[in-house]
Chains A and B, each alone.
Chain A
Amino acid sequence: MSDEEEDLILSELNDEELVEQMMDDLYDGMKPEIEEGVNILLERGWAPYRILTEALVAGMTIVGNDFRDGILFVPEVLLSANAMKGGMAILKPLLAETGAPRMGKMVIGTVKGDIHDIGKNLVAMMMEGAGFEVVDLGINNPVENYLEALEQEQPDILGMSALLTTTMPYMKVVIDTMVEKGLRDDYVVLVGGAPLNEEFGKAIGADGYCRDAAVAVEMAKDFIKRRHNQMTAS
């Protein structure tokens, strides 16, 4: 890093430069700088939703693309996500107050027998960044947890995650139970996790397999749009 960069004072940058710098800082996983940038933009009168989309989500999209393309690796993505989390923590309470658009609602959780949540947490964060309300059930969820949350939260989307070959079949248990109870068609079911693939997603009766968090967001938006179109048509 050059001396010039070390001396960079975020508050002296104009809006455009600051947003660009925040995207760089997000890429480099610099949480305190992201928090500072968010606060500066708020002070300058930016709407929380605008900060979220133009600085944080846009920056994280670059991180996601570079991860997909093999330029960045998991540790760097986690540092970026942690930085974004810092910014989100400031913005989240303000989003609802300021009338940010709401895309839909998602219940998400890692399946029974599985304690891995890195991918699930990334998806939850990016979904929130895209304007979804996310109810995170955490890890090791038996089918009862999902059903209870569906009933209580009435989400549009159910997301399930698994990292292990031994736990991923449990997703089918959840979907089959939803079918048995006549609930399956009330929700969009998205699944993801390292050992999964599209074929598996289809075989268990999910609506979509999400390779990564960015795909999850795009797929979720697409399904919500289709639902709205169907409702409008009927």
Chain B
Amino acid sequence: MLVLACGAIAREVMALIRLNGLDHLDLACLPAILHNTPDRIAPALRAAIAKHQPNYDRIIVGYGDCGTGGEIDRVCAETGATRLPGAHCYAFFSGVETFDAVAEDEIAAFYLTDFLARQFDAFVTRPLGLDRHPELRDIYFGNYEKLVYLAQTDDPKLTEAAQAAADRLGLAFERRQTGYGDLVPALQDA
């Protein structure tokens, strides 16, 4: 069985395969940076599924909806693949039910995961041009109130990085330990 995942959760999927002895699962990844152009995710996924499908009886798509407006679900329906629950990795790391319950009250929250805390400059600062044009910060983030770091692991360096990101964006900071959330049963039950 293959987990065809976004590069942004590769480390977490690998950790769970190792920790839980899920040796029947292989992992292949698509570049995480596709998230900055969500319209490119579904076509890339379709091509990757076509490439891997002859070698696996089942493919689990390691994505949420990820801002594709249902396109990933359409690819899954076309190809018989199944995907992880929830709209985003924020949701399945938090636990979809928990995330959905607070989402309505947290519309002004900007979420980071371990991956995004680690890669903040490459995935947020530079693509948004904030390194070259810091004056754009409030155009992007002026409506946000807080940065919520959903921590998969307990790494003080990542917490520090997430806190620094919040400071740079001018947002309040909150750390929430989530662990791997719904990713665990999704892989264990696969």
CA distance A125 to B97 in the complex (A): 39
Tell me whether B68 and A79 are in contact (CB under 8 A). Answer: no
Tell me whether A113 and B67 are in contact (CB under 8 A). Answer: no
- By a CB distance below 8 angstroms, the chain A residues around B128 are 74-75
| Beta-carbon nearest neighbor of B68 in chain A | A195
CA distance A76 to B136 in the complex (A): 10
Q: A73-B129, A75-B129, A75-B133 are in contact. Are A165 and B65 (CB under 8 A)?
A: yes
Q: Specify which of B38, B132, B133, B136 is in contact with A194 (CB 8 Å cutoff).
A: B38
Tell me whether B133 and A165 are in contact (CB under 8 A). Answer: no
Q: A78-B136, A165-B65, A200-B69 are in contact. Are A117 and B129 (CB under 8 A)?
A: no
A178 contacts partner chain B, Cβ-Cβ < 8 Å: no
CA distance A76 to B143 in the complex (A): 20
- By a CB distance below 8 angstroms, the chain A residues around B103 are 113, 166
Tell me whether B143 and A115 are in contact (CB under 8 A). Answer: yes
A177 contacts partner chain B, Cβ-Cβ < 8 Å: no
Shortest distance from the beta carbon of A44 to any chain B beta carbon, whole Å: 30
Tell me whether B129 and A194 are in contact (CB under 8 A). Answer: no
Specify the main secondary structure of chain A where it touches its partner: loop
CA distance A164 to B140 in the complex (A): 15
- By a CB distance below 8 angstroms, the chain B residues around A79 are 133, 136
Q: Scoring A residues 210 to 225 as 1 if CB is less than 8 Å from chain B, else 0, what string do you get?
A: 0000000000000000
Q: A74-B129, A75-B129, A166-B103 are in contact. Are A118 and B67 (CB under 8 A)?
A: no
- By a CB distance below 8 angstroms, the chain A residues around B143 are 115-117, 139
CA distance A195 to B71 in the complex (A): 9
CA distance A164 to B111 in the complex (A): 14
CA distance A229 to B161 in the complex (A): 59
CA distance A195 to B87 in the complex (A): 12
- By a CB distance below 8 angstroms, the chain B residues around A82 are 139
Count chain B residues whose beta carbon lies closer than 8 angstroms to a beta carbon of A: 22
- By a CB distance below 8 angstroms, the chain B residues around A116 are 143
A124 contacts partner chain B, Cβ-Cβ < 8 Å: no
A154 contacts partner chain B, Cβ-Cβ < 8 Å: no
- By a CB distance below 8 angstroms, the chain B residues around A117 are 143
- By a CB distance below 8 angstroms, the chain B residues around A140 are 107
Shortest distance from the beta carbon of A73 to any chain B beta carbon, whole Å: 7
Shortest distance from the beta carbon of A108 to any chain B beta carbon, whole Å: 16
A134 contacts partner chain B, Cβ-Cβ < 8 Å: no
Tell me whether B67 and A165 are in contact (CB under 8 A). Answer: yes
Shortest distance from the beta carbon of B136 to any chain A beta carbon, whole Å: 6
- By a CB distance below 8 angstroms, the chain A residues around B132 are 75
Shortest distance from the beta carbon of B130 to any chain A beta carbon, whole Å: 8
Contacts A78-B129, A82-B139, A166-B103 aside, 9 further interface pairs with beta carbons under 8 A come to A73-B129, A75-B130, A78-B136, A115-B108, A139-B143, A163-B67, A166-B87, A194-B67, A196-B69
**Interface pairs A-B: 7 shortest CB-CB:** A75-B129, A195-B69, A115-B143, A165-B65, A195-B67, A166-B87, A113-B107
Q: Give me 22 A-to-B residue pairs in the complex whose CB atoms sit less than 8 angstroms apart, sorted by A's number.
A: A74-B129, A75-B128, A75-B136, A78-B136, A79-B136, A82-B139, A113-B104, A115-B107, A116-B143, A117-B143, A118-B139, A118-B140, A164-B67, A164-B87, A165-B65, A165-B67, A165-B68, A165-B87, A166-B87, A194-B69, A195-B68, A197-B69
